[in-house]
């Protein structure tokens, strides 16, 4: 059974501070890192939208989310499929 975070000793708790993160740049970086993988599997990957979208969050966790989404898109795309990553300004 997992302990509630408040029940863990202080040195076991992971403090992940929030900061201003340029989500547009982060998405661009992750998308570029996947372009070759998509191409090698006969898939297309397109990124569009706002270049600079600042959000408040944890950069490491946001990068993990984008990575998981791109990896799932790659895994579950139909042969010859296309994935479009769009980051609109709210």
Domain of 69: which CATH number?
3.30.565.10
Is residue 3 scored above 50 in pLDDT? no
Domain count, the chain: 1
Is residue 12 scored above 80 in pLDDT? no
Q: Where are the beta strands (DSSP E) in 1-90?
A: 19-22, 44-49, 54-57, 82-87
Do the beta carbons of residue 31 and residue 47 sit within 8 Å? yes
Residue 9 domain-assigned (yes or no): no
Residue 62's domain comprises 14-85
Residue 3 domain-assigned (yes or no): no
Residue 90 domain-assigned (yes or no): no
Question: pTM for the full model?
Answer: 0.79
- Residue 73 is encoded by which pair of tokens? 């898109």
Looking at residue 17, its pLDDT comes to: 86
Q: What is the mean pLDDT of the chain?
A: 87
Task: State the average pLDDT over residues 50-76.
Answer: 95
Residue 61 domain-assigned (yes or no): yes
Residue 7 domain-assigned (yes or no): no
Is residue 43 scored above 90 in pLDDT? yes
């Amino acid at each position: 059974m997992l302990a509630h975070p408040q029940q863990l000793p202080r040195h076991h708790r992971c403090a992940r501070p929030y900061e201003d993160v340029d989500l547009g740049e982060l998405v661009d970086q992750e998308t570029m890192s996947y372009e070759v993988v998509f191409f090698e599997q006969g898939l297309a990957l397109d990124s569009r939208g706002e270049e600079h979208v600042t959000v408040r969050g944890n950069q490491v966790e946001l990068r993990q989310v984008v990575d998981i989404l791109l990896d799932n898109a790659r895994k579950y795309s139909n042969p010859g499929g296309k994935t479009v990553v769009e980051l609109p300004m709210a």
